[in-house]
Amino acid sequence: MGMQGLFVNLGLPEKISGDISMFLILSVVSVGLGMYIGRFRLVNVLINIYIAVALLGVIPAKWLSSSGVLPAIFFLAAVIFLTIIGDYLFDIHISNTVPGGFFWRLFVMSFLEMGLVFSIIISHLPKKIVLQYISESSSGYFSSPYAQIFWMVLPLVFLLFLSKKSK
């Protein structure tokens, strides 16, 4: 007899028993995860969840449509991968040890972030409005499915190559 059966035997309706079981399992897993990861890494995991949702949002649906569970598997894999490499992504120190190194890193990171913002804005505007201000090819550089993936992933890849401050 599972947890849901236990609640049904106590006289609760089956649907409510399932909801209570799910809530209890979620609570136990949450407490376990919080104790395992720790309070400081929980913020990084939260950011990783947002990044994984954003990545999932820009991947063309046809890439993940071969299986109904593929988007969920991709999401979990992305969160786990980002959490594993989290120290390389979020403990960034743009050092000034190389002459001129600080400014080119600052410029590249700023450019990639603004490209991402521009890509998000253009992809959410009606194409008719966008094409009043920029050419169709320029629009494609920011709003095509491949471009959205490019602008979403490239800043993260660049973060991996920035120097970390020594611990």
Output the pTM of the full model: 0.56
For residues 126 and 143, what is the distance between their CA atoms, to the nearest angstrom? 11
Provide the residue-wise pLDDT of the chain in tens; the chain has 167 residues: 566 677 677 777 766 765 676 677 878 888 887 777 766 676 677 788 888 888 888 888 788 877 777 888 888 898 889 888 877 666 555 555 555 566 677 678 778 878 887 887 888 788 888 888 888 888 888 889 899 889 888 887 887 776 555 44
Phi, psi of 92 (to 5 degrees): -100, 135
Question: Could you say which DSSP state residue 62 is in?
Answer: G
Q: Buried b / exposed e across 109-138, counting CB within 10 Å, b at 16+?
A: beebeebbeebbebbeeeeeebeeeeeeee
Per-residue pLDDT reduced to its tens digit, 93-110: 555 555 556 667 767 877
60: tokens are 């063309």
Q: Are residues 37 and 46 in contact, defined by beta-carbon separation less than 8 angstroms?
A: no
Alpha-carbon distance of 66 to 59, in angstroms, equals 13
Three-state SS for 146? helix
Amino acid identity of 150? F
- pLDDT, residue 167, reads 46
Which sequence spans correspond to the domains of the chain?
A: 1-37, 39-86, 91-167
